[in-house]
Each structure stands twice: as C-alpha cells, then as structure tokens.
Structure 1
Amino acid sequence: MGGQYRITGDKYPRMRRPRRRGRLVVLTVTSVAVLGVAGWGTVQLVDVFTGGGDPAAAVGTKAACAAEASPSPRPKALPEPGRITVNVLNATTRGGLAKKTADELKKRGFSIGEVGNASKQYDKKVKGTGVLLGPASARDTSLAVLGTQLTGAERRTDTVRKGTEVDLIIGERFTRLTAKADADRALAALTEPKPAPAAKKGC
C-alpha cells in the first residue's frame, strides 16, 4: 500500500449478528413447539371421548348404548300350573298333611298325582318346610312354579328320574302352603321381564 493509508483510532468493526434477532428466532420456534404439543394433546383427549371420528368406534358406542337401553330378554316360558303334575308326599309323623296339601294345590290349579307317605329315603329326614324334587329339566320350569306355593322349600333334581312329574315332600317345619295371594304375586314375578337399565350419560 506504500504507506498511504493509515488506520487511526481504537474502534474496529465487529462482524457478528445482533443478539436481539437471535433471541427472537429462538422464542418464535419455542412458542410454535409448545402450541403444537398443546394442540396434539387436545386432539387426543377429544378422540378419547368421541371415538376419534372412527365410524367403527362410533358404531360400537351406539351399540353399547342401545344394549343398555334395551329391555332385558324375557324369561323362559313357564308351564301353567294345570300342566304340572305334583305328587304330594308326607315325610313327617303328622297324619293327613299330604291329602290336605294336595287338595289345596288342586284348588290352585295344579294337577295331582300320587298322595301318600314319602319313601324311606326322605321319611322323617326332611327337617325344613319341604323338598321339591323333579327331573333336571324341571329345575327352572315346573319346580320354579311349584316353589311359589311353598316358601323356603329346597329344590332338588334327580338325573335318573323319568317323566315330567314333580314331588312335593312335606318336611318337619311345614305348617301350610304359602298364602294364595303371596303365591300368586310370586308366580307373576317369574313371568315379568326385568326393567331396562338406565342409559349412561352421552348415549
């Protein structure tokens, strides 16, 4: 340069970006990231409660609500008392109970079969009010209907037993059949469908 140009003074130009602009960029990026995370979380929560827009999930929710709102299925059809043949057997030492009980059951519409004393298997061995005995197929049908007439009677089934007849074996604690009005209400309750459950919120 031949010494023609001389630099005087003690200040020199600094070649770096202003700090303010760098901070602004960092803050902008951070804000966008925070908003993105928050928005994603909100979408996830909405999906949880609405099924995420998935038609299958929506259908499943509607089906569940419909199932809860629909009434319970009707109980199995029960036979009328007149279609049930009852053998009335006395397992106590008190005489005349079998005939008296059979006569009352007949008045209530039941068909009566054998009337007499219980077999050795049960004679003087029934400590409760009585035993209702029948084939396995009668547990929830004929025995259920007959059970409305004698509260507290034990139900038993015999897998070897043939036919459809059922036995009412009178026990030591027997005094009389259930009052007719109470027996009629119990019988009606067997044939009534259960009330539908209340629908959940959101259905």
Structure 2
Amino acid sequence: MGGKYRITGDKYPRMRRRRRRGRLVVVVVACGAVLGVAGWGTLQLIDVFTGGGGTASAAGSRASCGVKSAKASPSASASPAVLPKPAQITVNVLNATTRSGLAKTTADELEKRGFKIGEVGNASKEFDKKVTGAGILVGPAASLNTSLPVLSTQLAGAERRTDAARKGAEVDLIIGNGFKALSSEADAAKALAALAEPKPTATTKNAC
C-alpha cells in the first residue's frame, strides 16, 4: 500500500490476542491435583482388595489377643497337703528356759485349744538354755508339711526343724528365752484357716 498507510521498519503489529497464560497454569495445577487424588484413592483400593497392610494388622491383632490378662485362680496343684486337726497332733511341751512352770502352763493352754499333750518337762541338753527365740518345733520328716505347720499357728515366729531319724508322729514344742505367750486364740484361728485355704496361681487367657 502507499500513501500514509505505508508500513516502514521491521516490526509489524500483532494480529492475534495474547494468550492467557494464567488460566493455563491454573488448569495444569488442577489437573495435577485431580490425578494425585485419584492415584492415592487407587492405592487405597488396591490395599483393601489385596490385603495390603495385612502384616501390620495381623501383628496388631496377635499382640492384642496374645496374653490378654493374668488372673489368679485356685488350682488343684496349689492345694496344700491334707492337714491334721489339732486333736490328731500329740505335742510334747519342753522348757529350755530357767523359768519354772512354763511348760505346764503352755501345755494346758494347748490342750484347751484341742491338741493332745504328751510329755511335759524340761528340754534335753541339746536345747536347754540354748534357744534364744520364742521356741523351736521339732518333728519327724513327715511332719514338715502336716503337723508342724498346724502347731506353728499357735506360736508365731517359732523355728521348725525335722529329724529324719525320729520315729513316731509326735512333735516337740521347745520353749525358748524369747517366749512370752502363745498366739492369741483369734490370731491362731485365722492362721489355721489361711493355712487350709488353697493358694491361687496366676493363669493366662488367650483372647483369640
């Protein structure tokens, strides 16, 4: 063209509108977010249908259903041996102290509580004036878990001994220098009742 509409120079006017780059960026970001969410949801569905995470869940269930609780319950094996009654036990009451008449008064009290009384007198040279505690209970080997525990309920803190060479079922109560009195009847009765009760043992239960 000529005249005043002649174009000079090497730059030409743009004939198209500028692209809206901002809108394009928003669209790209939105598409990426949608794809990410879709991919995460797909993985979750795969885990559900293929048992993904089964190892962790199984381990957790095994941990929760392993040893659920430990409760004390009476067990037949924990039951004590059959204990004799006081009337079935013959007790020799022997005084190893210098206090006179102690064996007699102690024997009378034991007799009131149902025990049979055998010999009453002074202790042998083996124990005479040599017992510092409240007393010593001596019996045959078979009395360790039978007669001696029953007799010990009458004198708290008494030492127990067995003599394998000893014959018969009689047991000795040797009074020592630390003796003051027999246990009260109430305390002795409680100790005897506790002795006869089976002891509970801990048992575990599997929750599965």
TM-score scaled by length of structure 1: 0.69
Stretches of structure 2 lacking an aligned partner (at least 5 in a row): 1-38
Q: CA RMSD in A?
A: 3.2
Greater share of strand = 2
Say which one has the larger Rg. Answer: 2
Q: Secondary structure at the match of 2:103?
A: helix
Percent of pairs identical after alignment? 58
Determine if the alignment matches structure 1 residue 72 to structure 2 residue 81.
no
Match of 2:55 in 1: 41
Match of 2:171 in 1: 166
Q: CA deviation at 1:134?
A: 0.5
Of residues 167, 185, 188 in structure 2, which corresponds to 1:183? 188
Deviations 1:109-151 (A, max 9, x none): 0011111100000000000000000011111110000000001
Of residues 119, 131, 137 in structure 2, which corresponds to 1:114? 119
Match of 2:145 in 1: 140
Q: CA deviation at 1:38?
A: 4.0
Residues of 2 paired with 1:189 and 1:47: CA distance?
41
Deviations 1:62-119 (A, max 9, x none): xx98x95642333221000000000000000111011111111011000111111000
Of residues 64, 79, 98 in structure 2, which corresponds to 1:93? 98
Q: Secondary structure at the match of 1:86?
A: strand
Match of 1:16 in 2: none
Stretches of structure 1 lacking an aligned partner (at least 5 in a row): 1-26, 52-56
Match of 1:21 in 2: none
Residues of 2 paired with 1:199 and 1:37: CA distance?
31
